[in-house]
Amino acid sequence: MNPIFKNPDVQKQFEMDGYVKIPLLDIDEVVHLFEYYNKQNLNNKIEGGFHISLDNQNQALVHTIAQTIETTLEPKISNVFKDYKIFTASYVVKEPGKKNIVPPHQDWSFVDESKAFSATCWIPLVDVTEDNGALGVIKGSHKIFSHPRSSPSPQSKSPLADHIFTLFPYVDIVEMQAGECLIFDNRLIHASPPNLSQNTRVAVGVGVTGHEVQLKHYYQIPEAEEEMLEVYDVDPSFFTFYNNKRLSDLFDAQASPSDLTLVEKIVRDTPSLSTEEMHQLISNLEGVSYNTPLMQKLAKLFNYTMDDTSQKDTMTQENKAPEIQEETSYSDTRSFFQKYTPINIIKEIAWRAKGRP
């Protein structure tokens, strides 16, 4: 990777861990961005309580918001990076509520990652902790996959989608003060717990890559006999219009973007890993361990306790969470973590987050 950070120690940590945390904004800049957010009519909230301003259907508003964020951040980011450009800017918002867990995932591929890199600068505008939905990461996970990550979701299925239960217990929550910046490689696996506070968690995120790097977008071709990707050369304006919903609608209509520069078509070559293989990959990463306190907190949050069997006992068989029901018994003498494995705890969370009891 060509160095992009001005500080060589920061560059070294970023390459090794996949992320760095640095101070960035002062209190006046934080207040400015927070107050600007509150003045906008961002009518794009979803049931799960997590949304980004890039997903708003008002393209002019998305563009104006991006410009405002960039103008505020540019003087500070220029002290961190060299020979760089910003290609996306958005508010990243998590409303209060238990349903707004963001599962472990990777971002789209924004560049040809065999030749260049891209990163997100994530800056909370409020102090963030495990209790209000701080970002969490799996350290070093940017090194384990090299395939292009394509749109749209959920049609272009991520190889991580079947391993949420395996990955979540290894997420390390990064607590931050308002104005600090978490810079992470877009290949890094990241997630966030629910916002259990009474207040909306507001952050901003900007995408950064090398100044001369060509931006790319990888789109899965609908109805292809073999999974194939269309590879487009794009510019930053692509991201203010082609959000995931628009791409998803195109896919469902068996269409592709018609106004972009198509470079090539390639086979969609994604890894297919068993649970054991995924666990082995993650657990072997240096500095990664099972996050017992987080799993205990989530289990307690979703009433996943030794004594909470009466409600499950009264459910119909159709609505039960089978794995949990099978392992819960008044006469069972196993320890908490023998009964409540990472898989079962996260399945319970996902099950309850869908609106079930």
pLDDT band at 262 (very low <50, low <70, confident <90, very high): very high
pLDDT at 332 over 60: no
> For the segment 193-223, what is each residue's pLDDT rounded down to a tens digit?
999 999 999 999 999 999 999 999 999 999 8
Which is higher by pLDDT, 297 or 125? 125
Listed by start position, the domains of the chain span 8-217, 292-353
What are the DSSP calls for 113-150, one per residue? TTT--EEEEEEESS-B-TTBT--EE-TTGGGS--S---
pLDDT at 126 over 50: yes
Which is higher by pLDDT, 326 or 159? 159
> For the segment 100-120, what is each residue's pLDDT rounded down to a tens digit?
888 899 999 999 999 999 999
**Rounded CA gap, 256 and 265, in Å?**
12
Which is higher by pLDDT, 315 or 107? 107
Of 21-30, 206-215, 329-338, 345-354, the one with minimum mean pLDDT is 329-338
Of 34-48, 64-78, 185-199, the one with minimum mean pLDDT is 34-48
pLDDT at 261 over 80: yes
Mean pLDDT of 4-32: 97
CA angle (187, 192, 197) in 5-degree steps:
155
**Could you give the 3-state DSSP secondary structure of residue 235?**
coil
Distance of CA 179 to the CA centre of its chain: 20
φ/ψ of residue 201, rounded to 5: -90, 115
Mean pLDDT (the chain, rounded) = 84
Mean pLDDT of 43-65: 77
Handedness of CA 22, 24, 30, 36 (dihedral sign): negative
In the chain, pLDDT over 90 holds for what percent of residues? 63
Which is higher by pLDDT, 292 or 254? 254
Residues whose CB is less than 8 angstroms from the CB of residue 229 and which lie 6 or more positions away in sequence, other chains included: 148, 150, 218, 219, 220, 221, 265, 266, 267, 268
Residues whose CB is less than 8 angstroms from the CB of residue 207 and which lie 6 or more positions away in sequence, other chains included: 86, 87, 88, 89, 110, 118, 119, 120, 121, 186, 239
- Of the CATH numbers 1.10.730.10, 2.60.120.620, 3.40.50.300, 3.20.20.330, which one belongs to the domain with range 8-217? 2.60.120.620
Mean pLDDT of 65-92: 95
Supply the pLDDT for residue 319: 34
Mean pLDDT of 241-246: 90
pLDDT at 339 over 80: no
pTM metric for this prediction: 0.85
Supply the pLDDT for residue 51: 83
Which is higher by pLDDT, 295 or 252? 252
Which is higher by pLDDT, 85 or 355? 85
